[in-house]
Structure 1
Amino acid sequence: MARAFMAGLLACATPVLVMVGATPAIAQSTKDAQLDKAVAALRGITTLKADFTQTDRSGQVLSGKLTLKRPGKIRFEYEDSVNMLIVSNGKALTLVDYDVQQVQRWPISNSPLGALLDPNRDVKKYGTVQETGDPNVIAVQVKDAKRPEYGVITLIFVRDSAAPGGFELSSWVAVDSQNKRTTVRLSNQRYGVAVSDSAFTYKDPRRTSRRPG
């Protein structure tokens, strides 16, 4: 199950808010302004800690703690029943599965999460504003038409004056090159908190059977 969730995580979006395939109904100038706001919100994040829930396309849900440090670092610490970690050290996403004592890596540029992590992935260049029907919600779909194997991620921002740029990253939906879809929703976001680089390391599963605390 852990690997299935990993596949989905590297590919997620919010179906309630994003009306995929809908005919654009907002003026291009408004879309440009919304894209600028979303980019400002992303660039305003230096560090972030939050709770998350992750839902795959079959409806299975896992929860845990997320830690983000830009550029490029992220950690998904799952609930105790899931003996695995997902971490990025700024160059690669790593799945550490302690149950089967395996490690798998993907370059961050090859994942939909590259929109969050890869400093070379220009959200403004590759992002397209999607209609949400709510002026307080911005949905930005990020994909590289020349690299469909990278997948697609739709980032959802909700207006919040306390968040960087005035919009809070609330969720995202990723769809990978195999059309596997996962939705991640954040809550209890804390910005600008102290985060050590050691948070993005892991113990070699060949030497331990449990993830670090």
Structure 2
Amino acid sequence: MKRFLLGCSLLLLLSTAAGSAWAGGMESLEAFVKNVRSGRAQFTQTVTPPAREGEPVRNRVSTGSFEFQRPGKFKFDYKKPFVQLILADGQSLWLYDADLNQVTQRKQAQALGSTPAALIAAAADLRALQADFDLEAAPERDGLQWVKATPKAKDGQLQHVQVGFAGESLAALEILDSFGQRSVLKFDKVEVNPALPAGTFTFKTPAGADVIRQ
């Protein structure tokens, strides 16, 4: 389950961009929230733990697929190195660890809050995001427009998220948690507003799995 929680940590360089480029990040976020109702992509996630004296830093890399549909439905399907699933169906958040054959079910409204998933899939408009996050444009880099989102609630496990856009398309998430752990998700093969099959966000408990409801 520790590996799974790292996967949830469920979306910082300088440039010479002028003020207009900084504004572009907010414009991209607003267009994304307003116009992109669903999405599908492949992702690579790199988790870097905080440095400890005398110990080498060892990154953990995972790959999988990601789908979302507003309002409030998404699925992170991890394939390598471990099979794991994070699925929100609009009511519940489901966490599945294949190695443990264990499912955790939580009430979605309580579990998401000020999380990267809320930035991507939950909010209906920019005003809704601003109720939970302080938003500011960040310098353009890597050919992307960036927005930094800092949760207004100070008792969570998230310091901030940076979201990178290529136009209206989600391209990257950089997540820094309260323990100093950094998670970077890069998306490719991105599809904007695809028609997702019925049942995409329906969770089916695997045979014999232990189910923990919180």
Q: TM-score range by the shorter chain?
A: 0.7 to 0.9
- The answer to whether the aligner puts 1:108 opposite 2:108 as a matched pair is no
Structure with the bigger RCO (C-alpha within 8 Å, sep 6+) is: 1
Over 3 Å counting, the alpha-carbon distance change for 1:208 and 1:139 in structure 2 is same
**CA apart distance, 1:157:** 1.1
The superposition leaves residues 53-74 of structure 1 with CA deviations (integer Å, 9 ceiling, x where unpaired) of 1111132211111111111111
Partner of 2:191: 190
Determine which of 144, 147, 170 is the counterpart of 1:137.
144
Moved more, 46-55 or 115-124: 115-124
Worse overlay, 118-127 or 140-149: 118-127
Q: How many residues align?
A: 192
Partner of 1:43: 34
Q: Mean alpha-carbon deviation: is it higher for 29-38 or for 172-181?
A: 29-38
- Structure 2 counterparts to residues 156-167 of structure 1, below 5 A: 156-158=164-166, 166-167=167-168
Matched-pair contact (CA < 8 Å) for 1:9–1:182: no
User: Is 1:95 matched up with 2:95?
Assistant: yes
CA 91–173 in structure 1, closer or farther in 2 if over 3 Å, else same: farther
Partner residue of 1:161? none
Residue number in structure 2 paired with 1:62: 62
Percent sequence identity over aligned pairs = 22
Distance 2:132 2:114 in 1: 18
Structure 1 CA distance for aligned equivalents of residues 79 and 95 of structure 2: 15
The unaligned stretches of length 5 or more in structure 1 are: 13-17, 159-165
Tell me the distance in 1 between the aligned counterparts of 2:23 and 2:140.
15
**Amino acid paired to 2:37:** T
Partner residue, 2:55? none
Asked if 1 retains the 8 angstrom alpha-carbon contact of 2:44 and 2:64, the reply is yes
Gapped runs of 5+ residues in structure 2? 49-57
What is the RMSD computed on CA atoms of the aligned residues?
A: 3.1
- Kindly report which structure 2 residues correspond to 1:166-205, keeping only aligned pairs within 5 A, or say none: 166-196=167-197, 198-205=199-206
CA contact (8 A) 1:112 1:175 kept: no
2: CA distance, partners of 1:53 / 1:191: 18
